[in-house]
Chains A and B, each alone.
Chain A
Amino acid sequence: QQQVKQSPQSLIVQKGGISIINCAYENTAFDYFPWYQQFPGKGPALLIAIRPDVSEKKEGRFTISFNKSAKQFSLHIMDSQPGDSATYFCAAISLLNAGGTSYGKLTFGQGTILTVHP
């Protein structure tokens, strides 16, 4: 069974600090690795994503580091702000086909509740 393991379960960071969330996967059939941010009462929103042939991707304060050989990837949030307080999910996408239509199937990690104190 394909799995994505995420840690830590919860994280408390001071404003301006660096938040680091880690994920590991077991199956090599994943093709894309997105991170989602979810606020209470809302659906997950795509934050940043990376392909397995890239070791790092940075968008503003958010950086994904990807280690293909170790089957691990992580999200770094620089200069963390109270507004970043949310639940973060890593995910892995495997490409499938249904009736001639290709699509991506998401497997989510367990989630990390991030709290950034002012």
Chain B
Amino acid sequence: SAVISQKPSRDICQRGTSLTIQCQVDSQVTMMFWYRQQPGQSLTLIATANQGSEATYESGFVIDKFPISRPNLTFSTLTVSNMSPEDSSIYLCSVEDEGGYEKLFFGSGTQLSVL
């Protein structure tokens, strides 16, 4: 199974600043996904990142707020821009393993607190 490393694991940030979250996978994967999990809530898909293409954003999420990079088949970044306290959440990276959609794996997440 794919091993996913996310950095940082947690951070406390000031309002108005930006944070870039890194997701590194130990194998080449085509699709990478970014999710948000607000405190005590379920997971919501932010965007889908296909290497070599622009990320596809879900309704309610925009590129200016959550720019995503996908420079190669093992790495992606999510930036949370111009942060406000409402952005305090856990952000998770997910990938499809060799089994495709039947094998979706998640990183441990980045717990973000915005003051």
What's the dominant secondary structure at chain A's contact region? strand
Interface residues in B, total, Cβ within 8 A: 28
A58 to B10, CA, bound (A): 36
User: Which of chain B's residues have a CB closer than 8 A to the CB of A43?
Assistant: 4, 92, 94, 105-109
A49 to B103, CA, bound (A): 10
A49 to B44, CA, bound (A): 19
Interface residues on A, range: 20 to 34
A63 to B43, CA, bound (A): 23
The answer to whether B96 touches A98, judged by C-beta atoms less than 8 angstroms apart, is no
Return the contact of B101 from the options A32, A36, A109 (Cβ within 8 A). Answer: A32
Stretch at the interface among B11-19, B45-53, B61-69, B78-86: B45-53
Return the contact of A34 from the options B33, B56, B100, B104 (Cβ within 8 A). Answer: B104
Any chain A CB within 8 A of the CB of B31? yes
Any chain A CB within 8 A of the CB of B24? no
| Chain B proximity of A29: nearest CB distance (Å) | 14
The answer to whether A99 touches B53, judged by C-beta atoms less than 8 angstroms apart, is yes
| Chain B proximity of A62: nearest CB distance (Å) | 16
The answer to whether B104 touches A106, judged by C-beta atoms less than 8 angstroms apart, is yes
A42 to B110, CA, bound (A): 10
Interface residues of A (CB under 8 A from B): 31-32, 34, 36, 41-46, 49, 89, 93, 95, 98-99, 101-106, 108-111
